[in-house]
């Protein structure tokens, strides 16, 4: 039953342990309050709520006497909740949205971006003398209006009047709160200066100030206007009206779409794309099959080789078996990414050690032929994986009960019969859970694939960045666009992650159930 509550660590008052706790909690609270304030000023309400909740729970857990187990679980739990449970749940949410390039933000941000992107200089608009200033690191403009008032702002802060500015011949020479940039400094950052836009006011419809020569500023306003009442976007030059559609974009009656959209829930669209869209469905099925083949063959081949070696070295009469064992497990101690990169060089078509030295100059395209690349991936994974299997098989062989083996011998069973009917089943019971986790590991063995072949050789269909040795997880990576080679599609990538999770979880669950029945037999 639960440990007596009276034994909380605060029990003796100001003991050293209590002081340590007090200092640690104070530190956590200080950092937490800082984060809460920062979230407040950044308008991140979700982060703010999570931080407040975590702080309250932490303070309660460590000062009440009724939450003893929680004191021990909380540190790990906090990280688990934020960086695993939340991100998994968020993956599930993103899978049902069209989050990605062109749909990166909320609707308000998309409207603002559209207004900004379509800014044109207003014909005949007045020009005003302008000075380039800087506020800390951020560039800004100071403009002098016809009545002599000086207003200044940066890309983030709209123009506002600055009193006490010194104006000399239309140019601002000193400005409280800002540094006036020298001509040379302006030249140095010319591109930044011509790209800079300083909003006239908080309302995007008022436009912004821009400059070409860093001396004269013009007002630019957007050719689009947004009407919040009807929720439509109108192009003032053509008069076309755009209405929001279900995909999170503004669409005109003739079907033209404005380039910036926002993210919306799209239901099962991403899953439909994965299984049904011509560009993805074909590669997806091929990749799914190859992923299974890769994971199953990897587990089987490494297990068989490891087992064979474990048996070969499992004889006390074998001299030097410690040396053999140590040398054979060396590949296991090499970080996987180093091994994969190393093998990509060894298997290089023209200069690799395998072709050039072992095969006498044969130019075999190990990594660029669809079939050979798959063989190469399996072969390299065999090299990487068999020492692990060797280790666990050695452990399992040594822990086999000797009395059962003796009984079999007495009953007249031969070597082969003993092996098949007793040793192997017992061995499988002991190693099955590890074989399952090895399957799950290889199912997601991103590092090997990405570093050895990069998923290549590419499929003939060039519209998707996928190849013959891609497995599901590397497909997710390519589709997500985070490597910069394709358009970003977080929605589709998350949907594929969910599919992988369902596959792995189902197989693990089934396999664990089967191993339990194996165990009962044994």
Return the range that interacts with another protein (CB under 8 A); candidates 3-11, 56-64, 162-170, 404-412: 3-11
Question: Is residue 492 classed exposed, middle or buried when 0-12, 13-18 and 19+ CB atoms within 10 A define those classes?
Answer: buried
Closest to another protein by CB, 69 vs 259, is 69
Closest CA to 294 of 441, 458, 118: 441
Return the range that interacts with another protein (CB under 8 A); candidates 55-63, 120-128, 222-230, 310-318: 310-318
Whether residue 6 contacts residue 65, with contact meaning beta carbons closer than 8 Å, is answered with yes
Closest to another protein by CB, 48 vs 272, is 48
Whether residue 448 contacts residue 384, with contact meaning beta carbons closer than 8 Å, is answered with yes
Return the range that interacts with another protein (CB under 8 A); candidates 37-45, 236-244, 246-254, 366-374: 37-45
Q: How far apart are the C-alpha atoms of 224 and 227, rounded to whole Å?
A: 10
Read off the DSSP letter of residue 364: -
Shortest reach from residue 127's CB to another protein, in Å: 36
Footprint of another protein on residues 109-148 (CB under 8 A)?
none
Closest CA to 130 of 157, 189, 170: 170
Shortest reach from residue 429's CB to another protein, in Å: 9
Footprint of another protein on residues 222-281 (CB under 8 A)?
none
Closest to another protein by CB, 72 vs 183, is 72
Site membership for another protein, residue 3 (CB under 8 A): yes
Return the range that interacts with another protein (CB under 8 A); candidates 208-216, 248-256, 278-286, 470-478: 470-478
Q: How far apart are the C-alpha atoms of 66 and 385, rounded to whole Å?
A: 48
Please spell the DSSP secondary structure of 72-103, one letter per residue. HHHHHHHHHIIIIIHHHHHHHHHTTB--BTTB
- Near another protein by CB under 8 A: residue from 133, 152, 287, 430: 430
Shortest reach from residue 497's CB to another protein, in Å: 5
Footprint of another protein on residues 181-200 (CB under 8 A)?
none
Whether residue 54 contacts residue 30, with contact meaning beta carbons closer than 8 Å, is answered with no
Whether residue 461 contacts residue 283, with contact meaning beta carbons closer than 8 Å, is answered with yes
Shortest reach from residue 72's CB to another protein, in Å: 4
Closest to another protein by CB, 57 vs 70, is 70
User: What residues pair up with 218 in beta bridges, in sequence order?
Assistant: 127, 210
Shortest reach from residue 233's CB to another protein, in Å: 27
- Near another protein by CB under 8 A: residue from 148, 335, 360, 412: 335
> Under rule CB under 8 A, how many of the chain's residues touch another protein?
109
Site membership for another protein, residue 508 (CB under 8 A): yes
- Near another protein by CB under 8 A: residue from 154, 211, 444, 478: 444
Site membership for another protein, residue 310 (CB under 8 A): no
- Can you state the angle between helices 490-521 and 472-480, rounded to 10 degrees? 160
Strands 179-180 and 150-154, how do they pair? Answer: unpaired
User: What residues pair up with 121 in beta bridges, in sequence order?
Assistant: 220
Site membership for another protein, residue 94 (CB under 8 A): yes
User: Token pair of 339, please?
Assistant: 């091994």
Site membership for another protein, residue 33 (CB under 8 A): no
Site membership for another protein, residue 321 (CB under 8 A): yes
Closest to another protein by CB, 326 vs 463, is 326
Closest CA to 428 of 518, 302, 295, 510: 518
Site membership for another protein, residue 284 (CB under 8 A): no
Site membership for another protein, residue 313 (CB under 8 A): yes
Site membership for another protein, residue 293 (CB under 8 A): no
Q: How far apart are the C-alpha atoms of 26 and 457, rounded to whole Å?
A: 56
Closest CA to 299 of 381, 354, 421: 381
Shortest reach from residue 391's CB to another protein, in Å: 5
The separation between the first and the last C-alpha atoms of the chain, rounded to the nearest angstrom, is: 34
Footprint of another protein on residues 380-419 (CB under 8 A)?
383, 387-388, 391-392, 394-396, 399
Query: What are the start-end ranges of the H helices in 419-458?
Result: 424-443, 446-452
Shortest reach from residue 140's CB to another protein, in Å: 22
Q: How far apart are the C-alpha atoms of 101 and 433, rounded to whole Å?
A: 41
Q: How far apart are the C-alpha atoms of 5 and 373, rounded to whole Å?
A: 63
Return the range that interacts with another protein (CB under 8 A); candidates 89-97, 131-139, 290-298, 367-375: 89-97
- Near another protein by CB under 8 A: residue from 19, 88, 166, 522: 88
Site membership for another protein, residue 446 (CB under 8 A): yes
**139 in the Ramachandran plot: left (φ > 0), alpha (ψ -120 to 50) or beta?**
beta
Shortest reach from residue 133's CB to another protein, in Å: 25
- Near another protein by CB under 8 A: residue from 121, 197, 447, 458: 447
Footprint of another protein on residues 40-79 (CB under 8 A)?
42, 44, 46-47, 68-73, 75-77, 79
Whether residue 114 contacts residue 250, with contact meaning beta carbons closer than 8 Å, is answered with yes
- Near another protein by CB under 8 A: residue from 282, 433, 456, 457: 433
Closest CA to 207 of 178, 164, 236, 245: 236
Closest to another protein by CB, 234 vs 314, is 314
Closest to another protein by CB, 12 vs 127, is 12
Binding mask 341-370 for another protein (x = CB under 8 A): xxxxxx-x--xxx--xx-------------
Q: What angle do CA 21, 24, 26 make, to 5 degrees?
A: 105
């Amino acid at each position: 039953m639960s440990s007596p509550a009276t034994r909380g660590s605060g029990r003796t008052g100001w003991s050293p342990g209590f002081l340590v706790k007090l200092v640690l909690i104070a530190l956590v609270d200080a950092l937490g309050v800082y984060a809460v304030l920062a979230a407040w000023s950044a308008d991140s309400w979700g982060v703010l709520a999570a931080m407040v909740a975590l702080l309250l729970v932490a303070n309660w857990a460590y000062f009440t006497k009724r939450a003893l187990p929680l004191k021990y679980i909380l540190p790990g739990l906090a990280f688990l909740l934020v960086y695993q449970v939340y991100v998994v749940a968020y993956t599930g949410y993103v899978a049902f949205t069209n989050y990605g390039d062109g749909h990166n933000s909320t609707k308000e941000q998309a409207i603002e971006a559209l207004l900004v992107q379509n800014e044109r200089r207003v014909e005949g608009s007045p020009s005003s003398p302008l000075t380039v200033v800087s506020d800390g690191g951020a560039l800004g403009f100071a403009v002098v209006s016809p009545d002599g008032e000086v207003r200044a702002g940066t890309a983030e802060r709209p123009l506002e009047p600055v009193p006490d500015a010194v104006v000399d011949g239309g140019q601002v020479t000193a400005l409280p709160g800002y540094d006036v940039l020298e001509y040379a400094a302006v030249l140095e950052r010319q591109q930044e200066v011509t790209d800079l836009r300083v909003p006239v006011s908080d309302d995007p419809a008022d436009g912004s100030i821009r400059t070409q020569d860093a001396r004269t500023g013009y007002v630019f306003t957007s050719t689009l206007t947004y009407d919040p009442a009807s929720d439509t976007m109108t192009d003032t030059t053509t008069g076309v009206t755009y209405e929001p559609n279900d995909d999170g974009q503004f669409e005109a009656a003739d079907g033209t779409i404005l380039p910036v959209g926002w993210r919306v829930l799209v239901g099962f669209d991403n899953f439909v794309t994965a299984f049904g869209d011509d560009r993805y469905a074909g590669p997806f099925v091929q990749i799914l099959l190859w992923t299974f083949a890769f994971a199953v063959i990897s587990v089987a081949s490494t297990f068989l080789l490891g087992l064979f070696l474990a048996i070969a070295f499992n004889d006390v009469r074998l001299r030097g078996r410690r040396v053999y064992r140590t040398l054979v497990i060396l590949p296991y101690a090499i970080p996987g990414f180093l091994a994969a990169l190393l093998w990509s060089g060894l298997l290089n078509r023209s200069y690799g050690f395998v072709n050039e030295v072992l095969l006498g100059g044969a130019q075999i395209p190990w990594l660029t032929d669809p079939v050979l690349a798959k063989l190469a991936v399996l072969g390299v994974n065999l090299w990487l994986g068999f020492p692990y299997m060797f280790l666990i098989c050695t452990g399992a062989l040594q822990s086999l009960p000797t009395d059962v083996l003796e009984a079999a011998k007495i009953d007249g069973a031969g070597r082969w019969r003993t092996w098949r009917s007793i040793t192997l089943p017992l061995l499988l019971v002991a190693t099955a859970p590890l074989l399952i986790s090895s399957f799950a590991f290889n199912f997601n063995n991103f590092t090997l694939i990405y570093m050895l072949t990069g998923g290549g050789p590419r499929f003939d269909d060039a519209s998707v960045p996928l190849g013959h040795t891609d497995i599901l997880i590397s497909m997710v990576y390519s589709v997500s666009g985070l490597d910069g080679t394709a358009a970003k599609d977080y929605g589709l990538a998350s949907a594929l992650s969910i599919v992988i999770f369902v596959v792995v979880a189902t197989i693990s669950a089934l396999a664990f159930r089967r191993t339990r029945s194996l165990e009962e037999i044994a």
